[in-house]
Amino acid sequence: MAQRPHPRPFYDSDITDYRLDSPFTSNVELSYIESSSEDKQQSEEDTHTLLDHINTAYSPRYDDTVKHSVRVTSRIVDDDAHSGEGLQKYLDELRGSKLGRYVSLNPYAVEDGPTKNPFRGWRKAVILAAIVTGIVLLVNTMFAVVMGAKFPAVDGVGTIYTGDCNLVKRWNTALHLTINFLGTALLAASSFTMQCLSSPTRSEVNAAHAKRKPLDIGIPSWKNLAHLQRWKGILWWLLCLSTLPLHLLWNSTLFATNGTNLFTWLAVDESFLSGASWQAPPNDTSSYCNGYTLPSDNIQVIYGGYKAGQYERLEALDCFNAYNVDYINTRRSLILVTKPDTTLNMSRCGYYRQLWNGSSVVALDTDWKPGWNELGDYPYYRNVTEFKQQAKIGNFTLLGYPVEYCYSQVTKMSTCQLQYVSYIIYVVIICNAIKLVCMCAAARSLWNLKEPILATIGDAVSSFLDQPDETTKGFCLLDGAAVRAGVWRDSTMKYDVTYDRKPKARLYSATSATRWWWTIILCTLYLILGFTLFGLSFSLATDYRTSEVLRMKFGQVDSGMILGLGGDSGIGLIKDVLVANSFQLALSTTYFLYNALYTAQCAALEWASYLTDRKSLRVTWPRGQQRSTYYLQLPYRYGIPLTALLIAMHFLISQSIFLARLRYYNALGDVSESESFTDVGFSPVANLTTCCVGALMILAQVINAYRWLDNRIPVHGNKSAVLSAMCHPESNGPLKSKKYTSFEHLQEESVATMPLTWGATRNPDGGVGDNEDAEEGAGHCAFTEYTVPMPDPGKKYR
């Protein structure tokens, strides 16, 4: 069981010299028993000597009470002074005894450290983080098993569902929200554990301070790792590196495959519909259309479908609107009924990908022949608006043929698919498992530390008040900027500083300029890149009006918004996945920095609050009047909205740039592999929304950074040296205070457990405390339980 750090009343004095100013308390007895527990026999002798001394010091009316205490104490020594159950049993008996009427139990002994309630604070959170990671791993593993059993992958890609496109879209959106929720939970669990791993113990702080190296307290810090135990650094880097594949791959585990129908169209007169004879173009069509052929069987199939009632009559404008879409899912072949033509006594046929592609122009072959043509990617264009206007006034012509109405083949076959990439989910599971192992190892190792980590500012201040650090004595006005400038590192003598701090400063001064500018510049660069991509989307969609671009939906594959990287499988598919998810990794990187800024600023605000009111410390394990901390330094009113925004941003990015797969089906319903492709798709509207949310987040950080901060107390910048320098009492040993109880007795209690304020505990002209510095005319500032004045401007303090 880890030792509980606590003040020991007899640490610096012999027991016979200890002057009892109060009745025997549990703090005195328990502290002494534990300090002597290495030698059981000596512990028993010392305990009885102590009790005899107490018996002599007090009047006979306490005799029965002390005898009862002797009996209880003897048994606790025999059992095991370090036994948590034994201590609790002793305290219960003590409260029920006559002694309980005269004793005010010191909570420092009762609630000191993790022994009282080990499952709380960062210990509880690290275990919960491991549990969350285990749940995510279980979900991923179950998904992989079910998918592999029910929907086996072919070339690494499995098909979960083929059917209605609207249903596929809804499932795709819901599953991506789930992925981003799980991913954010895993990121939060990982980052929390990493922060705990980078938090030093008091011994590690002492070792670093001996080398004049400050450590970061209460914020994520990879810089600390060089001064911590090696296993902490190994686990930290494993957690960090296992995050990279997750953000680069996870969102592409699932994706929607859009399907569109290639279709055959016939331009015919009404006699075709009543069974008039027709003649197909010759098999050798090089003189007509550069080698493209339309088998007469297809014409027969179209005619047979018409006779079978598969075709729906549409007026010219309705026909135009039905096929003037980017992807045709529920319609296929088209019969255009034209006015009789005396120049060509045959049906006019075309076989091509799409007639109107939803853009503002239609591509026409510059070398088309009357009666046979191919619409496709050629540089002769007509405005779609012209067709639409003609259709409205009943004068719709196509390639010179006036169209009266049309028949459209209606098909119930839906061509969209929900698919997954098998080897991506395997990589996700491996990284997830690595994180779980690391978190379990971290939880076990941190739990078994001989002393707790200093996870928060309050933990550090409490520790430094209990056991002041000699390396920072005489630096009471040291601040974060001075530490970064090397003042404390380069000085081995006491550091007299003239107090001339401005009453107010902006909150951005709470962190280093390097951290601040790195975060803002990196966020701004990503934001500029996002807006640049939005602007480039208009150059990609040369066939679209601005209004049409802005009407494109989130995560929707559009033929005009394809980056053109290619890659249906293997390396090509991995390349598409990495490009599509690169922004996910960028977001996670900037979020770490962004979160650290808020953490440092919130710590500075709470730090400054000790100037205006006496407040108890927020610590992991409260003692006395101390308050419980948040799981780490960031308050919930910041942490919860930031987590929600992170989930939203990950989802928006997944809908802005994504893996896009398009499958073309021919007139017979078979996949046309030559036309189908996999690429990286881009959604301008989702991208614009992402950029706007990101801009608001940056603006919120800037506004928060320009809040006023009470600057009269040195800004610690989360540096351990600054925290230590402000926690030096005026006498050696743990800072104590005598406090009246409800029974008008006195007891000793650590100042760290009481409401505190910061100020001048000794004036420059001399005052309370050591005379050494007072004679030299230097004042002193520190945390104290008393109401003290602010330092005098222009006076020196150390």
Is the pLDDT reported for residue 597 higher than 70?
yes
Helix H or strand E segment including 759? strand 757-762
pLDDT in tens, 506-565: 888 877 778 888 888 888 888 888 888 887 777 666 555 666 667 777 767 776 677 766
The backbone torsions φ and ψ at residue 355, rounded to the nearest 5 degrees and listed phi first, read: -80, -55
Lowest-pLDDT choice from 162-176, 379-393, 456-470, 490-504: 379-393
CA distance linking residue 172 with residue 168, whole number of Å = 6
pLDDT of residue 37: 42
User: Cα dihedral sign for 540, 543, 546, 551?
Assistant: negative
Vertex 48: Cα angle to 42 and 50 (nearest 5): 100
Phi, psi of 212 (to 5 degrees): 60, 40
Q: Is residue 310 predicted with pLDDT exceeding 60?
A: yes
The H or E element spanning position 65 is helix 63-79
Whole-number pLDDT of residue 297: 57
Write down the H helix ranges in 736-785. Answer: 771-775
SS3 sequence of 614-656 = CECCEECCCCCCCEECCCCCCCHHHHHHHHHHHHHHHHHHHHH
Q: Are 20 and 57 in contact (CB under 8 A)?
A: yes
Give pLDDT, residue 104: 34
The answer to whether the CB of 701 falls within 8 A of the CB of 599 is no
pLDDT digits (tens, 9 = 90+) for 707-728: 888 878 888 778 899 899 888 8
Cβ neighbours around 786 below 10 Å, total: 13
Region 21-37 average pLDDT = 37
Q: Are 723 and 461 in contact (CB under 8 A)?
A: yes
Rounded CA separation 586/359 (Å): 33
131 — pLDDT class (breaks 50, 70, 90): very high
What is residue 23's predicted lDDT score, i.e. its pLDDT? Answer: 36
pLDDT confidence of residue 244: 87
Percent of the chain at pLDDT > 70 equals: 63
- The yes-or-no verdict on residue 159 having pLDDT over 60 is yes
Give phi and psi for 38, each to the nearest 5.
Answer: -65, -30
Question: Is the pTM for the entire model greater than 0.85?
Answer: no
Q: Strand 618-619 to strand 627-628: parallel, antiparallel, or no bridges (unpaired)?
A: parallel
Calculate the dihedral angle through the C-alpha atoms of 288, 289, 292, 293, rounding to the nearest 10 degrees: -30
**What whole-number distance in Å separates Cα of residue 240 and Cα of residue 442?**
14
Torsion of CA 498, 501, 503, 507, to 10 degrees: -160
Instruction: Report phi then psi at 674, rounded to 5.
Output: -65, -30
Tell me the three-class secondary structure of 496-510, residue by residue: CEECCCCCEEEHHHH
The pLDDT tens digits of the residues spanning 203-246 come to: 999 999 988 899 988 888 888 999 898 999 999 999 999 988 88
Q: Classify 674 as helix, strand or coil.
A: coil
pLDDT given at position 30:
36
CA distances from residue 520 to 426, 458, 523, 539 in whole angstroms, order as listed: 36, 28, 5, 29
Supply the mean pLDDT for the chain. 70
Give every CB contact of residue 758 below 8 A, 6+ residues apart in sequence: 610, 611, 713, 726, 781, 782, 783, 784
| Nearest residue to 577 via CA among 257, 259, 260, 245 | 245
Residues constituting the chain:
798
pLDDT in tens, 44-62: 555 455 445 444 443 333 3
With the CA atoms of 266, 268, 274 and 278 taken in that order, what torsion angle do they form, in degrees rounded to the nearest 10?
Answer: -80
> For residues 305 and 5, what is the distance between their CA atoms, to the nearest angstrom?
87
